[in-house]
Amino acid sequence: MSDAHARPGPPLWLLCELTYRCPLHCVFCYNPVDFSRTGAELTTAEWLRVLTEARALGAVQLGLSGGEPLVRDDVETIVAAAHDLGFYINLITSGVGLNEERLQALKRAGLDNIQLSFQDSTRQMNDFLSSTRTFELKSKVAALIKKYEYPMVLNVVLHRLNIDHVEEILAMAKTMEADYVELANTQYYGWAFKNREQLLPSRAQLARAEAVTQRFRAENGERMRIFFVVPDYFERRPKACMNGLGSIFLTITPDGTALPCHAARMLPGLSFPNVKKASVEHIWVESSGFKHFRGDAWMKEPCRSCPEKAKDFGGCRCQAYLLTGDAANADPVCDLSPHHHLVTETVARAERAAAQSAAAEVIILDPLYSTHDQDENDTRAMAALCQSLLRLRDASRAALIVVHHVRKSITRYEIGSAFRGSSALHAVGDSYMLLTRPSPQLSTVELRFQFRYAAAQPPRLLQLDPQTLWFSSTGQLPAAETPRRKVEKADVTQALAGLGPQARYSQLREQIMDRAECSKRTAQMAISVACQQGWIVQDNGQYHLPL
Amino acid sequence: MNTIAATAKPAIGRGMRLQWEPAQKAHVLLYPEGMIKLNGSAGEIMKRCDGVRTLSEITADLERSFATTGLGDDVAAFVAMALQKKWLEMRS
């Protein structure tokens, strides 16, 4: 059993949360939900003392984060001092406040790396998730970071609302010439814990995102390193959180509280010292808050006797506390934990919520031919298509609306049978609506109905308002409702006369349809009758009146 | 594995930094949000990769410093591995 009282190794990773202030308001933020109650921020001089003392203990990787660290105007001073001390300095920023002038100053001060956060690959989603309009600004900042030849880590926190955009996110990162991409699935602490049922992706979403990432790696090689951090709720073994509390990570919060992990303040019964009152060495080596979960003497079963305890250190103390109420329990992500069901039930609840929120009530296939590559006249192919439509309906539990074309000429009383192609298409529907334009002159359309299990409704007439492109029902009887008159000889001859000395067949037909308000078919019959009767003469494809 | 020309001049990879850490009594290679603790021989090779000296000069210097011979293959193999991991890059 490793000893909590042996002198610990150095705090290799020092995370300085310079401020909780941030212009963004992200739904997945791990910041404390009550951060407005924390004390005053450390002064520049106090931060410099923290850096000096931590460096003397062996701290070497420095993260400057927040909140948004650039809200403070002494970041350049802090970076310069850290650089002189020999830290490798990572600035973890939203990009807000990072202009060219500050980038130059930070470069001169010795900043090594910039981690820029994006919320999504699209402006809309990025801005929605951060509750700000920052996408354009972040894109500009990314270009500036590369202009000043910093390595760039692009960090995107993934969750249900953006995990389907991983392909676009990776493409964006490639365009921006990121050196590293962190696709970090949300970890559920702080604000994210409160929002977790809205944020947890489904298993299917997660699998898709991982597959997309693998494909991107295969196609693009290693120039851009991609880290895909799986949300641990979907795992069966916990993450080796912080490599064990008090082992290599030291976080200093804006007010100077020292924590063995940035979320540890929530752990009850522990007191965490403040750098205003104690040296970093005392805090790291001696303080009870850092010693409590060091080693494995604190462990309960099943961790205590578990052969894997040296690998994952029992997982995350904060997660154990948040989910089971006891920080010394096994992280319930582990399927050996008696509380593992708390995790699986949460995932299942989130899955159902996601499925329900995504469940369409109506699916529109418009037009049908865009959904298949079969011959519409082939009854066998269309019957198979109809079966797949029924399966789609049953699987989605949604109403399907299929938009299909009708044949060139249909009779007055056809509705469902007016479909173009195989009659199999007519067999599958429950309701049919046929949209026709009874008269080319009128902006009125007629909607006819046919129902498999109910009597047909009378036709409805809709008037198109050319200004608003909005249909409203019209009380007027359209031409189609009036008894049709016969196409007379005069209709044909006057139509032809109006077209000049001679006209082509199609011109004449159109003209007759206009004059007599008749169908194409009627006009065609009228032309052939007129030719037979000698009222008009056809000559070399052209029609004229008899001489 | 590609053989590396004896005249190639390896240098620490872009965005990386090599430094001696007294607390770890080791050379470490620092890069964005990460660190590799190098063993003794890796540290000795890496600290000579300054983009000025050629591979053969580095090998000669190591053999002189440690009063030994025949390090050429081991040094070349390490440099090839480090190039692949981008700890090192070649300067012409």
Looking at residue A481, what DSSP letter applies?
A: G
Give pLDDT, residue A458.
Answer: 84
CA A189 distance to own-chain centroid: 21
CB < 8 Å to B24, chain A: 10, 58
Strands A537-539 and A503-504, bridge-based pairing? unpaired
Q: Is residue B6 part of a domain?
A: no
Q: Domain containing B19: what range?
A: 12-85
Distance from CA of B16 to the nearest CA of A (A): 9
B30, closest residue in chain A (CA to CA): A88
- Please count the other Cβ atoms lying within 10 Å of the Cβ belonging to residue A257: 22
Task: Tell me: ipTM over 0.95.
Answer: no
The pTM for the full model equals 0.68
Give pLDDT, residue A411.
Answer: 77
A54, closest residue in chain B (CA to CA): B23
How many A/B residue pairs have CB atoms within 8 Å? 48
Q: Is residue B4 part of a domain?
A: no
- A34 φψ region: left (φ > 0), alpha (ψ -120 to 50), beta (else): alpha
Which pLDDT band holds residue A451 (cuts at 50, 70, 90)?
A: confident
Q: Is residue B1 part of a domain?
A: no
Q: How far is CA B78 from CA A136, A262, B35, B87, in A?
A: 44, 38, 18, 11
Nearest to B32 among A12, A58, A179 (CB): A179
Checking if the pLDDT of A70 tops 50, the result is: yes
Q: Is residue B51 part of a domain?
A: yes
Best of B33, B35, B85, B89 to mutate (most A CBs within 10 Å, chain A)? B33
Best of B31, B85, B86, B89 to mutate (most A CBs within 10 Å, chain A)? B31
B21, closest residue in chain A (CA to CA): A58
* Cβ contact, residue pair B15, A86, below 8 Å: no
* Cβ contact, residue pair A113, B19, below 8 Å: no
Q: Is residue B5 part of a domain?
A: no
Strand partners, A215: none
Which pLDDT band holds residue A37 (cuts at 50, 70, 90)?
A: low
A178, closest residue in chain B (CA to CA): B32
Number of domains in chain B: 1
Nearest to A58 among B23, B30, B86 (CB): B23
From A45-59, A255-269, A386-400, the region with the lowest mean pLDDT: A386-400
Give pLDDT, residue A40.
Answer: 87
Nearest to A113 by CA among B34, B13, B32, B18: B32
Cα separation of A156 and A117, whole Å? Answer: 6
Q: Is residue B48 part of a domain?
A: yes
* Cβ contact, residue pair B35, A12, below 8 Å: yes
B positions 10-49 inside 8 Å of A (CB): 14-15, 17, 19, 21-24, 28, 30-35
Give pLDDT, residue A223.
Answer: 84
Q: Is residue B54 part of a domain?
A: yes
* Cβ contact, residue pair A153, B21, below 8 Å: no
Cα separation of A104 and A98, whole Å? Answer: 10
Query: In CATH, what number is assigned to the domain containing residue B54?
Result: 1.10.10.1150
Checking if the pLDDT of A183 tops 60, the result is: yes
Which pLDDT band holds residue A477 (cuts at 50, 70, 90)?
A: very low
* Cβ contact, residue pair A112, B14, below 8 Å: no
Q: Is residue B26 part of a domain?
A: yes
* Cβ contact, residue pair B17, A88, below 8 Å: yes
